[in-house]
């Protein structure tokens, strides 16, 4: 049965209140909310959550003449439901905007859809979202060239980090390369693709059911590449996704092992649960062979970043100007990041007495996210523009946001996607 719902803003209502009236066929909701970019983003999400609550099929939105893009982003993000494994729960078939700038609305819907694409990848459990599935997802992106480097290629090239992390898994490792647009002055995007992280020998003591989300960086790279092709961006992009599964098989790496990375640096494995930085080291080294203008890497790298910034912002490290530009892009899209300092003291934590570098710092309770970024910086060539986004908190959250209504939700939230897309658009 067709159920129509008209939702409009009522300036006489107190912010974040609503009034509902109507019958099963035709309903009306009036919302009170602040007419700011983030207010409109939250209101768009709220409108769709209410539409779902009242089982509407056709929704007409008369909410604001301003902040069209933010509103549309919120509408897309608020419409998200991960129901692949259960009976279909969605009711809304059509959404109409009666106010707003059409181009901005379209852009907001695309940014929101790109984020939701990443959310689907992240939310899919590891028995289905393994290395084969992640490769298949990459190959299904229109307008993007994909090359898959297999285990034999990784061995031949000496990518010891990727191979070591995956050696306890029955699933095969890979390095996915993606290419869009011109090679000259391209931006390299590197995404951590750990399809499941048990912690290895240093097995995690809790929250193992959420470790399907450790490929949030890979999902962000795929989403950005996909949206870039849809937007027909002029900037060339190259994507690099090291794909592994960190398990406890008979051949799994041990604490105390020393491996040789693709850069030729030896790495002492002090903690097998500090695996993301090890595979990123190989991918970052490889990406630099093609002389990118700049590199942005995405990784659900540390729980310490969640301690520092919660689920509200990603940690940003590296080139100061690039980090500031990413922070600005995050403010415009609600996909926030915050720059943290890469001080020399944290780099010293990564020294090893018997190898070139340790994969875990001397004191895990001190600046854990910064220590991880310091490890990555050891593999960045002098003069290379680079930013690292630790999206551990923004890619996935175990609980609902305390502030309601919100465009984030429990589960995957696709951190980094809208921020980096906006940054790439701003460079054209």
Catalytic residue positions? 204, 277
Q: Which helix (H) or strand (E) holds 31?
A: strand 26-32
Angle at alpha carbon of residue 266, lines to 265 and 267, rounded to 5°: 115
C-alpha to C-alpha distance for 161 and 152, rounded to whole angstroms: 14
Whether 198 and 170 have beta carbons less than 8 Å apart is answered as no
Selection from 365, 367, 327 nearest residue 347 by Cα: 367
C-alpha to C-alpha distance for 231 and 229, rounded to whole angstroms: 5
Selection from 357, 336, 352, 334 nearest residue 406 by Cα: 334
* Tokens found for residue 399: 């609980």
CA atoms within 13 A on the CB side of 277: 31
Q: In this structure, what are the phi and psi dihedrals at residue 276, rounded to the nearest 5 degrees?
A: -60, -45
The set of residues, in sequence order, having a beta carbon less than 8 Å from that of 68 and lying 6+ positions away, is 97, 99, 100, 101, 104, 105, 108
Beta strand pairing call for 174-180 and 237-246: antiparallel
305 alpha-carbon distance from chain centroid: 14
CA separation, residue 352 to residues 257, 355, 420 (Å): 12, 5, 34
């Amino acid at each position: 049965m067709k159920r129509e719902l008209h939702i409009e803003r009522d300036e006489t209502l107190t912010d974040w209140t609503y009034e509902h009236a109507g019958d099963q066929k035709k309903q009306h909701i009036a919302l009170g909310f602040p007419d700011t970019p983030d207010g409109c983003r939250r209101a768009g999400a709220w409108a769709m959550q209410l539409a779902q609550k009242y089982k509407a099929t056709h929704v007409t939105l008369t909410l604001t003449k301003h902040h069209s893009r933010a509103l549309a982003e919120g509408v897309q993000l608020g419409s998200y439901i991960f129901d692949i494994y259960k009976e279909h729960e969605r009711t809304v078939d059509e959404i109409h905007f009666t106010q707003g700038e059409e181009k901005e609305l379209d852009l907001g819907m695309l940014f929101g859809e790109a984020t939701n694409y990443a959310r689907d990848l992240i939310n899919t459990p590891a028995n289905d979202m393994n290395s084969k599935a992640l490769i298949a997802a990459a190959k299904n992106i229109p307008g993007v060239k994909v090359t898959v480097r297999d285990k034999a290629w990784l061995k031949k090239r000496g990518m010891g980090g990727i191979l070591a992390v995956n050696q306890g898994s029955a699933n095969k490792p890979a390095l996915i390369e993606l290419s869009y647009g011109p090679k000259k002055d391209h931006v390299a995007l590197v995404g951590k693709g750990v399809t499941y992280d048990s912690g290895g020998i240093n097995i995690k003591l809790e929250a193992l059911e959420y470790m399907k989300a450790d490929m949030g960086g890979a999902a962000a790279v795929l989403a950005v590449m996909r949206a870039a092709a849809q937007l027909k961006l002029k900037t060339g992009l190259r994507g690099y996704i090291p794909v592994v599964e960190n398990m406890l098989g008979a051949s799994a790496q041990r604490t105390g092992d020393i491996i040789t990375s693709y850069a030729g640096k030896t790495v002492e494995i002090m903690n097998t649960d500090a695996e993301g930085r090890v595979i990123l080291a190989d991918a970052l080294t490889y990406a630099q062979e093609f002389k990118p203008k700049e590199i942005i890497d995405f990784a659900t790298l540390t729980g310490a970043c969640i301690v520092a910034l919660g689920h509200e912002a990603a940690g940003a490290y590296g080139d100061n100007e690039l980090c500031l530009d990413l922070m600005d892009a995050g403010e415009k899209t609600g996909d926030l990041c915050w720059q943290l300092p890469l001080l020399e003291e944290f780099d010293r934590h990564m020294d090893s007495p018997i190898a070139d570098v340790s994969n875990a710092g001397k004191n895990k309770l001190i600046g854990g996210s910064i220590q991880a970024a310091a490890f990555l910086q050891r593999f960045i060539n002098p003069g290379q523009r680079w930013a690292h986004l630790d999206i551990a908190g923004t890619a996935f959250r175990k609980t609902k946001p305390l502030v309601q209504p919100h465009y984030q939700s429990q589960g995957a939230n696709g951190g980094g996607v809208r921020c980096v897309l906006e940054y790439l658009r701003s460079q054209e």
